[in-house]
Structure formats: structure tokens, C-alpha cells
Amino acid sequence: MRSMLLTVAALLAATTIGGCSITDWLRPYRIDVRQGNYVTPEMVAQLKTGMSPDQVRFVLGTPLVVDPFHRNRWDYFYRFKPGRGEATEHRLTVLFDNGVLAELQGDIEPAPADRIVPPKRVIEIGTEQQ
């Protein structure tokens, strides 16, 4: 009886000690957090100097920050924080001069021309004159 009790105690101790090393699955689930404007290299490659602000907004979306003191500067910022791991951040600043795109600054490089997929169908929208 005593040997059986010692065996059960040893197994219980081994299981308890072994269970302490497997705590990764005990941590709660954490969601991935995405904040800001997701701007891809393909989107940046579509931008050309001389584009109007409306054309830039069509390609990139509404900027995250439009500074009222610097109306010629739009800032696009994206931050991704996975549930486990380090956060990554990307910035793109669009500068206009005289109402047209003049310069791009940031850490998002344009995609090579061979990676850009043209649209399957082009729809021209115009106003009919009567």
C-alpha cells in the first residue's frame, strides 16, 4: 500500500512539474490590431507626380492625418500589432505643390512595374453634353 502511495505521489509530482513548463497554451488569446491606412507598394506605384488630390485619394484612400496648418501634406500611417510579437509601422507622406502631387516620403517603396496588375476592365465615366 505504501509503495502504491509513493508511486501515485511520484506520478502526481512529475505531472505537476511537467505541466508548469507547458504554459504557452494557458495564455489568453490576443487579437491582431490593425490601425490606420493599409497602403501597399502596388498602390504607391500607381502614384505619379502631377496627380490631383482627388486622384491620390482615389488610389490611397482618405489620409489618416490632414494637418490644418499644412494643407499640402497628407500623412498615411499604418500600424500592425499581432496578438503575440512585435508591432510594425509604415508611414507615407504625400506632398502637394500648387494642387498637384509633388513628392512622396516614407518607408513604403513602390512595387516593380512587373508586379502591377492592370485592371481587367476600364470604365470611362464622363458627362454627356446636351
The strand pairing partners of 83, in sequence order, are none
Does residue 121 or residue 24 have the better pLDDT?
A: 121
Q: What is the domain partition of the chain in residue ranges?
A: 31-113
- Which grid coordinates belong to 44? 504607391
- Residue 81, class by beta-carbon neighbours within 10 Å (0-12 exposed, 13-18 middle, 19+ buried)? middle
Instruction: Check pLDDT > 90 for residue 78.
Output: yes
Q: Cα separation of 4 and 6, whole Å?
A: 5
Domain 31-113 has CATH 3.30.1450: yes
Q: What is the DSSP string of 19-65?
A: HHT--GGGSPP---EEEE----HHHHHT--TT--HHHHHHHH-S-SE
Whether the model pTM is above 0.75: no
86-117 per-position pLDDT tens digit:
999 999 999 999 999 999 999 988 888 766 66
